[in-house]
Structure 1
């Protein structure tokens, strides 16, 4: 099995709870195909780099996946069908990091500065 980092952007008009349900669905797809989802992070509602169909914001999420290639192909197929997902990208990596992503680390650092 290989290691993957998967990031997706969901429509801004759905709630964070619906994004969490989408993450659970992705986890079920991966586990059905004999894979595992390690760390999952919700990055929140963020501005997009460029508008997609006149939409300027989206819910970002990151998942670390340990799965065979067939599981990733099935995940890609299902996310292309899903109307709630605007964009998604899966990248194969050498190893999975258990540390917080730079997005979460920066957010935590900014929160600490505001408290001081």
Structure 2
């Protein structure tokens, strides 16, 4: 492996380490000021958003299979999925491949810089994908518990109205409601006559 280094100095070592799943190139240089260690950027992991619009022609059985296929593409390119945002079937703003609707799904993943090109190549060849977009994100994805959807089965406390309070309000307003209704009726009779 040949590496061009723009610094003046003596190359002590140039090694490629396999840490977890992501390789790392470490270069150690010595010059008159000391020893420097440098990690090359081409092996660093970046955050991406992969947005896809799937064909509405997919049935209940093939839609989960297609989602799983895309997840496999992401993981096979060295990626790790952080979050999946499934927005379901929605109306498109304009016709795409003679379709008016599509399934909107986004995956937020950490990928090597070579990963998006492999994913894009697979997506271009699949006829069930109407549109796709792979965006590099500068900010790492953080899951906020407040933004997560609440399950219908969870125990959510509902507001309880006190019966005593509502009775007191009803009793106190009976006289005023009757007089207000009488005065409105009298005004309407006076205007019509």
Do both share a fold (TM > 0.5)?
Answer: yes
Superposed counterparts of 1:23-62, under 5 Å: 23-62=67-106
Contact 2:73 2:119 in 1 (8 A): yes
Q: 1:93 aligns with which of 116, 137, 146?
A: 137
Describe the shift of the 1:90–1:99 C-alpha distance in structure 2 as closer, same or farther (beyond 3 A): farther
Describe the shift of the 1:16–1:69 C-alpha distance in structure 2 as closer, same or farther (beyond 3 A): farther
Q: 2:127 aligns with which of 83, 108, 116?
A: 83
Q: How far 1:42 moved relative to its partner? A: 1.5
Counterpart residue number, 2:110: 66
Contact 2:84 2:107 in 1 (8 A): yes
Structure 1, unaligned runs of 5 or more: 109-116
CA distance in 2, matches of 1:76, 1:65: 14
Q: How far 1:19 moved relative to its partner? A: 2.8
Name which structure has the greater RCO, CA cutoff 8 Å, separation 6+: 1
CA distance in 1, matches of 2:51, 2:110: 14
Q: How far 1:31 moved relative to its partner? A: 1.8
TM-score, normalising length from structure 1? Answer: 0.78
Q: Which moved more, 1:90-99 or 1:67-76?
A: 90-99
**Counterpart secondary structure, 1:7:** strand
**Number of residue equivalences:** 104
More helix by share: 1
Larger Rg: 2
Contact 1:27 1:36 in 2 (8 A): no
Describe the shift of the 1:92–1:23 C-alpha distance in structure 2 as closer, same or farther (beyond 3 A): same
Q: How far 1:57 moved relative to its partner? A: 0.3
Structure 2, unaligned runs of 5 or more: 1-44, 152-193
Q: How far 1:87 moved relative to its partner? A: 0.2
Q: How far 1:28 moved relative to its partner? A: 1.5
Q: How far 1:53 moved relative to its partner? A: 2.6
